[in-house]
Amino acid sequence: MTDGGRVYLDHASASPLRPGAFDAMVPFLRDHHADPGRVHSDGRVTRVAIETAREQVAALLGARPREVVFTSGGTEAVNAAIFGASRRAADATRIVTTAVEHSSVTDACARDPFETVTVGVDPTGRFSDADVLDAIGPTTALVTVQLANHEVGTLQPVAEICAGARERGVLVHVDACAAIGYLPLDFSAIGADLMSVTAHTWGGPKGTGALLIRRGLRIPSFVVGGAQERDRRGGIENIPAIVGFGAAADELVQSGHLDHESANARTLTDRIRTALMTTISGFTIHGPTDASDRLPNIVCFGVDGVEAEPILLALDQRGIAIHSGSACSSESLEPSPVLAAMGAEADHALRVSVGWSSTEADIDRFLSELPGIIEHMRGLRTS
């Protein structure tokens, strides 16, 4: 529960900053301001801080430090991966992706003059590795798929896709932004060529993320104008945010918090799922039913007979923040393409997502307020 008595259950959009990350950032906001590309002592301080953070992030992700390229966030990492991979092969004209990808992926694919082949999903939001691999042709430059879905939590068969694409000589980018901080990740074991992650959805600072680039792979840079990040991403580094990213990653690795937090998230979301299915009528839970097939921190559900937006607003008036089944940005009024691809009614869908700071009291409050709101809304509709 946040200060002021509000309950925050929208961690999949943005999570509160971890105290340890905040503490690590402060000296680099206040005292250490030098360009890490300079050879003087001040520059060496910030350079060491960045490289320490790179090692910390690599340890969380099962990667080599030299494979980690810091970016301004997951969106830039996704764009850099798709831009670089699609331009690497001169004769390639096709990108293979799926119908449930984040808008950063779909928009980046659509921006270039490539044929985009979009693979569909089943009603749980899961795509088939066989369908993805069958879509690869002789002119395919890249396969770009998510590790876990950001709206319904579905885990995807990315390791199988990476192995099959490698046999066909095609690069694979995995969007792991929804999974980082909630599941153990191993870049090497997954077998991807490129993997994008962000910091802000699991307690790291906003404004930073990373693109992991497999050792030995060279792709054109998306952001040019400098030799930073070993000439893979131009522009002076966001040192405080990178340091906070590293500190948050180190907290999960060194303390064992990842397993503890994932288990706690699963307990909280299981409470919500049980309550929706047993104590309140007229709900449909979207995504997989088996806990092993979904992220531990997300519950997406539809409400029969009532649109999501008035429920979201009524909860907000009572001090509870969740997300509706719409697009990534509140400026967009379009329904979620993820839910549409699953055959679900996006305008009736709500998403609750917990995180490192969520408590049983938060869930108590949410479950105490929701039934009365639903009953009131249904009563208005009937009258």
Instruction: Give, in order, the Cα–Cα distances in Å from 24 to each of 74, 116, 239.
Output: 21, 42, 11
Q: Residue 318 burial (CB < 10 Å; 0-12/13-18/19+)?
A: middle
162 is known as an active-site residue: no
Angle at which helix 74-86 crosses helix 103-111, to 10 degrees, equals 30
The b/e string for 55-90 (b: 16+ C-beta within 10 A; e otherwise) is ebbbbbbbbeeebbbbbbbbbbbbbbbbbbbbebee
User: What is the DSSP code string of 290-332?
Assistant: SGGGB-SSEEEEEETTS-HHHHHHHHHHTTEE-EESB-SSTT-
User: What is the DSSP code string of 338-368?
Assistant: HHHHHT--GGGEEEEE--TT--HHHHHHHHH
Contact 98, 125 (CB under 8 A): no
Token pair of 5 as six digits: 């008595």
Token pair of 44 as six digits: 């060496």
CB atoms near residue 288 (< 10 Å): 20
Nearest in space to 152 (alpha carbons), one of 114, 123, 187: 123
Contact 170, 143 (CB under 8 A): yes
Catalytically active residues, by annotation = 328
